Amino acid sequence: MIVSVAKGYMLETLRNFGVLFGNILPPIIFLICSVLVKSFLDSPETVEFMIKGQFLPISILLLLFSFSLSSATIYLAELKAHKTFHWLKRTDVSPFIYFLGMGVGVFLFMNLLLILLLIGYAWVASISITSFLMIHFICNLILLALYPASFIIAGIVKDEKVAQSLLVPGMIILMFSITMPSLFLTIGGANPQDYYIFLSWNPMLYLFDTLHAQLQLIDHTWLNLYHYALILIGFSIIFSILAKKIYNR
Amino acid sequence: MTLTVENLTKKYGNTTVLNKITGTFSEGKCYLLLGENGSGKSTLARCLAGDEPYDEGTISLKQDTIHFSDQIALQYQDFDSYPHLKVKEVIQLFRQLITNPFHTDELEKILDMDTFTNTLIKNTSGGQRKAVSILLAFLLNKPFILLDEPFADLDLHKKQRLADFLQRQVKQNNKCLILISHEITGLEDLFDYVYILKNGTFIEQGSHTELLQKYPDNVFPGLAGVYFEVTGKTLKEMTG
């Protein structure tokens, strides 16, 4: 049953060209920008800093947001609007199996695109194998934390249009609450990590900080990686419990 | 197994849509729900299927260890789910999500599914979506099946073939069919018992023969005449 649900989700996502293109394009745009910057700027150090400090993290944040939260939320909201859950509740598939099945689809899409994106960036900036693997690992932890949140959002909205309109401010908050303070604090000569406690509610913080450490932009992460793993698993458990409560209503 | 409905009341705000409905639905029988638009047929179907909470009354199965809605398949008027999957992929998906699916080969032929099996759901017509919906309702393999206007959009030949198929499901597989349909001419032998709804209440009920005996001198023949005698309206007016 898990395989059937995953296959159904993946086929629908692949055939929904508009949504698929919309999800893939933003991270690719930043990769294209990196290639262009590298081609036109003569200062290799500045280019490397720009790519690692801005383009690569934003690309990955967008990719993760699109595939672990946005596309799953819209898909679920569409299922809800079309009364698919009324049909599904009469089958023998449990909500948990459906959650896992869709999760497999989301996991495969996100990982495939992440590998391609990182290979693309490895072509324009130096990324070691260890960094490659560590980035991959933290991205999967973020996926684990954000994926159940898609069930919460889809559970409270009426249809995919409402979901989409909620996701836009959601994306802005999740992404810019991390990148902007970090940028301005650095410009102001302050250490952004001193203020991370105020942003610890945002799962993207742990990705952003790990990325900067893995790309040698900072010496060390705010907390240890295993702390991040525990926090993100905690997020995942809390979101899963909330999602279960919403779907049991 | 018998599904019993007692004093079922459903309200939307101050409007009472179902008013103390009482009736029984047994396996091995086919029931017809007749009533004009807004009489409460679809609301009753949704309450029976467990999709709609009700305000008062009870719906129960004689085997009280099972929840009634777990034993009922409701064919919704339309099927919009999985718009980017092909018809055959949707059927395959559901077949894999059901432990003991119904064998739908015959029904697929009756509904001409092979002519649009490779079409994406979003590109299918209303009639084709209804066919998918009917097929899935049977695929679920539940003892009680609620069908909402299953004969609409079908030509006379297909109507008759579907009616024969439904009759066999009742007699041979002991299914309980509850049909909401205004297209009953020539298919009346299918129905064992008829409920006529008006303003959320059963205003008349009985077996096919009982009703014909009770209303012998009708303007229209068969159940259409009974319906006219009881409600003062024709079956065509039933759909508005």
SS (H, E, C) chain A: CHHHHHHHHHHHHHHCHHHHHHHHHHHHHHHHHHHHHHHHCCCHHHHHHHHHHHHHHHHHHHHHHHHHHHHHHHHHHHHHHCCHHHHHCCCCCCHHHHHHHHHHHHHHHHHHHHHHHHHHHHHHCCCCHHHHHHHHHHHHHHHHHHHHHHHHHHHHCCCHHHHHHHHHHHHHHHHHHHHHHHHHHHHCCCCHHHHHHHHCCCHHHHHHHHHHHHCCCCCCCCCCHHHHHHHHHHHHHHHHHHHHHHHHC
Strand intervals (E) in chain B: 2-12, 15-26, 30-35, 56-61, 72-75, 144-148, 176-180, 193-198, 201-207
Average confidence score pLDDT of chain B? 86
C-alpha–C-alpha distance, residues A181 and A197, integer Å: 12
Contacts of B89 in chain A (CB under 8 A): 8, 11
| Proportion of chain B above pLDDT 70, given as a percent | 96
Q: Using the CB atoms, write b or e for B73-112: b if 16+ within 10 Å.
A: bbbbeebbbbbbbbbebbbebbebbbeebbebeebbebbe
List the single residue in B with minimal CA-CA distance to A6.
B93
Q: Is the pLDDT of residue B8 over 80?
A: yes
Q: Tens of pLDDT along A136-151? A: 999 999 999 999 999 8
| Proportion of chain A above pLDDT 70, given as a percent | 99
Q: Which two tokens stand for residue B30?
A: 């086919």
Q: Tens of pLDDT along A121-138? A: 998 888 899 999 999 999
B164 has a chain A CB within 8 A of its CB: no
Q: Å from A92 to nearest chain B CA?
A: 5
Choose the mutation target among B52, B96, B129 for the interface with A, i.e. most A CBs under 10 Å.
Answer: B96
Q: Is the pLDDT of residue B9 over 70?
A: yes
C-alpha–C-alpha distance, residues B155 and B194, integer Å: 24
Handedness of CA A198, A202, A205, A208 (dihedral sign): negative
Tell me whether residues B93 and A1 touch, CB distance under 8 A: no
> Is A215:A56 a contact under the CB 8 Å cutoff?
yes
Q: Which of B210, B134, B206 is nearest to B177 (CA)?
A: B134
- pLDDT in the model for residue A249: 60
Tell me whether residues B136 and A79 touch, CB distance under 8 A: no
C-alpha–C-alpha distance, residues A196 and A178, integer Å: 9
- pLDDT in the model for residue A148: 92
Residue B240 pLDDT class (50, 70, 90 cuts) = very low
Domain-by-domain residue ranges, chain A? 2-247
- Predicted-complex ipTM score: 0.82
Q: Kindly state the average pLDDT of the residues B97-114.
A: 89
Q: Kindly state the average pLDDT of the residues A21-49.
A: 89
Q: Tens of pLDDT along B189-235? A: 888 899 988 888 888 888 888 888 888 877 777 888 888 887 877 77
Q: Is the pLDDT of residue A118 over 80?
A: yes
A93 has a chain B CB within 8 A of its CB: yes
- pLDDT in the model for residue A111: 93
- pLDDT in the model for residue A89: 86
Q: Kindly state the average pLDDT of the residues B32-49.
A: 87
- pLDDT in the model for residue A188: 87
Tally of CA atoms within 13 A in the half-sphere of B222 that contains its CB: 13
Tally of CA atoms within 13 A in the half-sphere of A152 that contains its CB: 17
Handedness of CA B54, B57, B63, B64 (dihedral sign): positive
- pLDDT in the model for residue A67: 87
C-alpha–C-alpha distance, residues A139 and A210, integer Å: 10
